[in-house]
Amino acid sequence: MTDFAHNSRSIFDLGMNNGDDTDYYLKLGYDVVALEANPSLCHKATERFASAIEEGRLTIVHAAIWERSGETSFLVNQDNDHWSSIDPNWAGRDDSACTAIQVRCVTLPELFTQFGVPYYLKIDVEGVDHVVLDQLRSAPLLPAYASVEDCRFGFDYMETLSACGYDGFKLLDQSTVEGRIDPINGHVFPAGASGPLGRDIEGDWISHDSMVIRYSTTVRDKEFNRLAPRTQWWDIHCTRLT
């Protein structure tokens, strides 16, 4: 039987980018493991979070997450660093300029072995989110909460999360996150932030089947036609309720 890490005091920020999510997780009092493949962003985060790193509350892992460990080519998007990816089609969308670099790559099981299983796993790794989700399937201990950035594979993502044992789901419209205020610590979410943890998102948790219905009438239908305007984008959150 799969167990869930409800007593963990850490969060994994997979796809740290500029560190705004990491900043929030630290303010919540969690230890954070933040993974980022872009060396420039890692350098900036090292300066921004020097105190948390010195205190042992933050570990920045300069690597890409992938199917296997070793090295791989990573494309840094020069126009929008949020689009940087291992996947050339993802990184180079809209004919944007990219620079290829070699980076270390790690797997999710390796991160779990080294740092332990987190309370919450944020997955936002541009084009390879499915790799992380597939690696969750075989883990004997899973995060109590997880989220993944939606894309055209949203139905597959929800199916995989359900197969892992998650039975509670929420859908968060990321376009509504900017300006929200955490009622406990007063943190104001900036543009582009992932927002609150799933437990703190308004509304009840719903089943996988109900989530598929909500998603297929809100985001995109089962023929993959997008229903929501391009100004909206989504994160899928999940937990284990039973």
Is the per-residue pLDDT at 11 higher than 90? yes
- Spatial neighbors of 177 by CB under 8 A, at least 6 apart, are 189, 193, 194, 195
Its pTM stands at 0.97
Is pLDDT at 16 greater than 70 in this prediction?
yes
Residue 136 phi, psi (nearest 5): -70, -30
CATH number at 185 reads 3.40.50.150
pLDDT in tens, 47-58: 999 999 999 999
Calculate mean pLDDT across residues 31-44. Answer: 98
Q: Which two tokens mark 241?
A: 């309720």
How many structural domains comprise the chain?
1
- Three state DSSP letters for the chain: CCEEECCCCEEEEECCCCCHHHHHHHHCCCEEEEEECCHHHHHHHHHHCHHHHHCCCEEEEECEECCCCEEEEEEEECCCHHHCECCHHHHCHHHCCEEEEEEEEECHHHHHHHHCCCCEEEECCCCCHHHHHHHHCCCCEEECEEEEECCCCHHHHHHHHHHHCCCEEEEEEHHHCCCCECCCCCCECCCCCCCCCHHHCCCCCECHHHHHHHHHHHCECCCCCECCCCCCCEEEEEECCC
pLDDT reported for residue 2: 82
How high is the mean pLDDT of the chain? Answer: 96
Q: What is the domain extent for residue 210?
A: 3-239
Question: Which pLDDT does position 90 carry in this prediction?
Answer: 86
**Mean per-residue pLDDT, 177-205:** 97
What average pLDDT does range 119-138 have in this prediction? 96
**What percentage of the chain has pLDDT greater than the value 90?**
93
Q: Provide the pLDDT confidence category of residue 1 given band limits of 50, 70 and 90.
A: low
Q: What is the pLDDT of residues 137-175, one digit of tens each?
A: 989 999 999 999 999 999 999 999 999 999 999 999 999
Q: What is the per-residue pLDDT across 56-89, written as a single tens digit (0 to 9) for each?
A: 999 999 999 999 999 999 999 999 988 899 999 8
What local confidence, expressed as pLDDT, does residue 94 receive?
Answer: 87
CA 124 to each of CA 9, 67, 140, 176, 204: distance values in angstroms, whole numbers, following the listed order: 20, 16, 22, 18, 23
Q: Which pLDDT score, from 0 to 100, does residue 242 have?
A: 87
Residue 228: half-sphere exposure toward Cβ, Cα within 13 Å:
20
